Chain A
Amino acid sequence: MPDTLPPAHRAREELVANLMAVPAVIGLALAVTAFVRRGSGIDGTAGAGLAILGMAALAAAALLVGRLSPGRFRTFVTVMILIGGLLTLICAWFLMQGWLMLAVALTLALWLIFILVAR
């Protein structure tokens, strides 16, 4: 499908998507820290590993989605961000990682803005 959006609109989409990646990357750092830091309560656990995977996937998807032209694949990635974000939020909740939950929540808030901008 040809990209017919005006450049300014694309730039806004990409900016919001990049902003979405910021809390996801911060969340990734938090998850890695919790995985490796002795005494975090979840160090070395499968749950913390899952949080790392979830945040890494969110960050990668956020960076990717802003660079995609409208179409089925971008819709798919956008929906996957929502699903992945919700699952990572649940994961962080059961891991009792408040800052990680906040990072995911911010990512999802920016996802919502991305949806509004991309309409």
Chain B
Amino acid sequence: MIRILPALILLAPAAHAQQTEWTGFHGDGMAQKYSASTQITPENVSDLEMAWEIHTGDVSDGSGDIPGTVWSATPILANDMLYVGTPFYRILAVHPDTGEIAWTYEPDDTTLEPLSQPELKNRGVTYWEGDGEGPCARRVYIGTMDAELHAVDADTGALCADFGEGGILDVNQWNKPDANFPLSQLQPPTVFRDKLLLGWAGKDWHDAENPLGSVFAIDARTGELDWTFHAIPEDYDGVTGTANVWTAMSVDEENGLAYLPVSSPSADFYGGTRTDPIPLATSVTAVNGDTGEVVWSRQLVDHDIWDYDTVAAPTLVDIPGDGGTTPALVQPTKMGYAFVLNRLTGEPIFPIEDTPVPASDIPTEASAATQPIPTLPKSPIGDDWGGVFGLADIASFGYCSRKFEELRYEGRYTPPSLEGSLAYPATAGGFQWGGGAVDPENGILYINSSRVAQIYQLIERAEYDTMTTGGSEAEGGLFPMTGTPYGFSLTNFLNPIGMPCWKPPYGLMSAIDLKSGETLWERPFGQTQQWGFYMPESWGSPTIGGPVVTASGLIFIGASMDARVRALDAATGDVLWKAQVDAPAVSIPAVYDFKGQQYVVFAVGGNSIIKPQVADQLIAFTLPQ
């Protein structure tokens, strides 16, 4: 734990606005995913009907010249307009009540190539408005995989000439000259006052040496660099890299702080080439939003060799209590732990224990002896993988049992090994980038999680060099980890007919009382699908995407494999409404009021990690007028 500045303020006023717009990736900068809208209630949600839908046309299954698409945009409601970005880096401005397209921004020279990621990805756009009126007083920004950030006028879609060069900022100007990938702008920037905070995504698992993790703060009007945050000491250049911020950030403008969920350093599954501590890697780090200076940081995984990137923006909430409120943040992680910290000091609100974990048997590895594990809230995915799933074992004539016997497994944080280690949870999470939603009125967190077991295997370099690199996070594969003595194999622990070898449920939705840390309810969420066949609801589904909670006591969420969007009762977790959409809605919905009517809008794009089905559907639901 690094504390650069001591805590100054212990109590902060409740900072949640009565939001009925949806102006950012999480609705607001605090990543609460909370809507004050109350028109749709548990009593009438079953009456929801489709208000409108559009198909953007920006979709690819990867079978042609264009790589496959992953569309996880949160639609933004601001300026009486709904803005959404696409995986082809276009911006659509849509009338919020009719779905009619007002304008479209199409970049001139778009590179639709998988430069850093295997698929074209987009998580939407950022909206910012400054003082004054006139062209570009209000702006919409979209990033590209080739590290450009485009700024357009929110009223017309015309490029803002005063931003970067002619409206386009080359973020790659701040990359190292010989970098092996561009600083891809897939996650929309986070707004901090008149600044935009830019993280970046890179190419995971390929090399040990990568660009060193950084966050850039730029002037929202001009694109000029204001400050840079570095996650890795510069003398590590050429040895390691990443520890970047590829997911969203959150901001506490009142206290002048920005919160950075920092990912793991490279190489992702072998740390023998980076044995010196990198304290800001796999951390949640608070920086002064005006200067970039680190205020406090808490490392969530010591010497990360599991690719346990800090995966989501921390949710900021003032937890109500008898003696006032506590300014807190909730940091979801791939490990399925939600770290609840005082957001001004980084101190834990619930104790964190340094717990002994298994040691690596790779002689040149230097795995950590302990890992920080929060005592509360209880992880929804459990502390053990739960054993072989009997049905999958029988269906494969004992394959799952035999395979498990070959693997190393000593509980959580079992290090990657030459014989293969069962990783539970694995890089797929636990929690994912969608994070949780919190009701600031009662301090209850609602969060979806996945229970996934994968096999991590290191392969001696000489042997690896006889193999063919290839694969994906979705299907597993071989990854070179160039610059280390080992290549890496990732395998989903499935039987030969594709059934998970671990027991269901595969996905959960949980409600956690942040005042006590106790789990109020926990339910299997979604349905797993194979070849079109739906598995029992009690099995749940792995999820990608996040929930929204409303003041009326509803949770809206897509995220599941079965391509349905749902409304849950926040009090019980019961599914009160669901609708079929074109693909898994791997996104965070937007909830807003417009002209006296409440809408819930989902971007439905799919993600091959949970199901090979893509779409380009933007669909809005509302009550009958």
Hey, which chain A residues are within 8 Å of B593, CB to CB? Answer: none
Cα-based distance from A96 to B531 in the complex (angstroms): 13
B236 at the interface (CB under 8 A from A): no
Cα-based distance from A94 to B615 in the complex (angstroms): 23
Contacts A41-B563, A41-B564 given; does A96 touch B582 at CB 8 Å: no
CB distance from B309 to the nearest CB of A (A): 32
Hey, which chain B residues are within 8 Å of A45, CB to CB? Answer: 531-532
Minimal Cβ-Cβ distance residue in B for A91:
B533
CB distance from B617 to the nearest CB of A (A): 8
Q: A39-B582, A95-B534 are known; give 18 further A-B pairs, CB within 8 A.
A: A38-B582, A38-B615, A39-B563, A39-B581, A41-B532, A41-B563, A41-B564, A42-B532, A45-B531, A46-B531, A46-B532, A47-B532, A48-B532, A91-B533, A94-B533, A94-B534, A95-B532, A96-B534
Assess the B580–A47 pair: CB atoms within 8 A: no
Which of B531, B562, B580 has the most CB atoms of chain A within a 10 A radius of its CB?
A: B531
A40 at the interface (CB under 8 A from B): yes
Of A38, A40, A41, A47, which is within 8 A of B531 by CB?
A: A47
Q: Which 9 A-B pairs have the closest CB atoms?
A: A45-B532, A47-B532, A42-B532, A94-B533, A46-B531, A39-B582, A47-B531, A47-B533, A41-B580
CB distance from A87 to the nearest CB of B (A): 13
Hey, which chain B residues are within 8 Å of A47, CB to CB? Answer: 531-533
Cα-based distance from A109 to B533 in the complex (angstroms): 25
Q: How large is the interface on B (under 10, 10 to 19, 20 to 34, 35 or more residues)?
A: 10 to 19
Residues of chain B at the chain A interface (Cβ within 8 Å): 531-534, 562-564, 580-582, 615, 617
Hey, which chain B residues are within 8 Å of A46, CB to CB? Answer: 531-532
Hey, which chain A residues are within 8 Å of B582, CB to CB? Answer: 38-39
23 contacts between A and B (CB under 8 A): A38-B582, A38-B615, A39-B563, A39-B581, A39-B617, A40-B580, A41-B532, A41-B562, A41-B563, A41-B564, A41-B580, A42-B532, A45-B531, A45-B532, A46-B531, A47-B531, A48-B532, A91-B533, A94-B533, A94-B534, A95-B532, A95-B534, A96-B534
Cα-based distance from A91 to B531 in the complex (angstroms): 11
Cα-based distance from A74 to B531 in the complex (angstroms): 34
Residues 29-48 of A, flagged 1 when their CB comes within 8 A of B and 0 if not, give 00000000011111001111
Minimal Cβ-Cβ distance residue in A for B619:
A39
Assess the B533–A95 pair: CB atoms within 8 A: yes
Cα-based distance from A11 to B319 in the complex (angstroms): 78
Cα-based distance from A41 to B531 in the complex (angstroms): 11
Could you tell me the dominant secondary structure of chain A's interface residues? loop
Residues 44-79 of A, flagged 1 when their CB comes within 8 A of B and 0 if not, give 011110000000000000000000000000000000
Hey, which chain A residues are within 8 Å of B564, CB to CB? Answer: 41
CB distance from A1 to the nearest CB of B (A): 42
Could you tell me the dominant secondary structure of chain B's interface residues? loop
CB distance from A36 to the nearest CB of B (A): 13
Cα-based distance from A41 to B563 in the complex (angstroms): 7
Assess the A39–B532 pair: CB atoms within 8 A: no
Hey, which chain A residues are within 8 Å of B531, CB to CB? Answer: 45-47
Hey, which chain B residues are within 8 Å of A48, CB to CB? Answer: 532
Cα-based distance from A47 to B533 in the complex (angstroms): 6
Hey, which chain A residues are within 8 Å of B617, CB to CB? Answer: 39
Which of B531, B533, B562, B564 has the most CB atoms of chain A within a 10 A radius of its CB?
A: B533
Hey, which chain B residues are within 8 Å of A38, CB to CB? Answer: 582, 615
Cα-based distance from A112 to B434 in the complex (angstroms): 52
Cα-based distance from A38 to B61 in the complex (angstroms): 14
Minimal Cβ-Cβ distance residue in B for A96:
B534
Hey, which chain B residues are within 8 Å of A96, CB to CB? Answer: 534
CB distance from B50 to the nearest CB of A (A): 11
Hey, which chain B residues are within 8 Å of A95, CB to CB? Answer: 532-534
CB distance from A52 to the nearest CB of B (A): 11
CB distance from B588 to the nearest CB of A (A): 20
Assess the B580–A39 pair: CB atoms within 8 A: yes
Residues 70-110 of A, flagged 1 when their CB comes within 8 A of B and 0 if not, give 00000000000000000000010011100000000000000
CB distance from A101 to the nearest CB of B (A): 13
Hey, which chain B residues are within 8 Å of A42, CB to CB? Answer: 532
Hey, which chain A residues are within 8 Å of B580, CB to CB? Answer: 39-41
Which of B532, B534, B580 has the most CB atoms of chain A within a 10 A radius of its CB?
A: B532
Hey, which chain A residues are within 8 Å of B581, CB to CB? Answer: 39
Minimal Cβ-Cβ distance residue in A for B534:
A96
Minimal Cβ-Cβ distance residue in B for A38:
B582
Which of B534, B580, B582 has the most CB atoms of chain A within a 10 A radius of its CB?
A: B534
Cα-based distance from A45 to B581 in the complex (angstroms): 15
Hey, which chain B residues are within 8 Å of A91, CB to CB? Answer: 533
Cα-based distance from A38 to B583 in the complex (angstroms): 9
Hey, which chain B residues are within 8 Å of A94, CB to CB? Answer: 533-534
Cα-based distance from A92 to B531 in the complex (angstroms): 13
Minimal Cβ-Cβ distance residue in A for B55:
A38
CB distance from B234 to the nearest CB of A (A): 50
Hey, which chain B residues are within 8 Å of A39, CB to CB? Answer: 563, 580-582, 617
Minimal Cβ-Cβ distance residue in A for B530:
A47
Hey, which chain A residues are within 8 Å of B563, CB to CB? Answer: 39, 41
Hey, which chain B residues are within 8 Å of A40, CB to CB? Answer: 580
Cα-based distance from A47 to B615 in the complex (angstroms): 20
CB distance from A98 to the nearest CB of B (A): 12
Cα-based distance from A47 to B530 in the complex (angstroms): 8
Cα-based distance from A115 to B563 in the complex (angstroms): 41
Hey, which chain A residues are within 8 Å of B534, CB to CB? Answer: 94-96
CB distance from B58 to the nearest CB of A (A): 16
CB distance from B274 to the nearest CB of A (A): 44
Cα-based distance from A96 to B537 in the complex (angstroms): 12
Cα-based distance from A42 to B581 in the complex (angstroms): 11
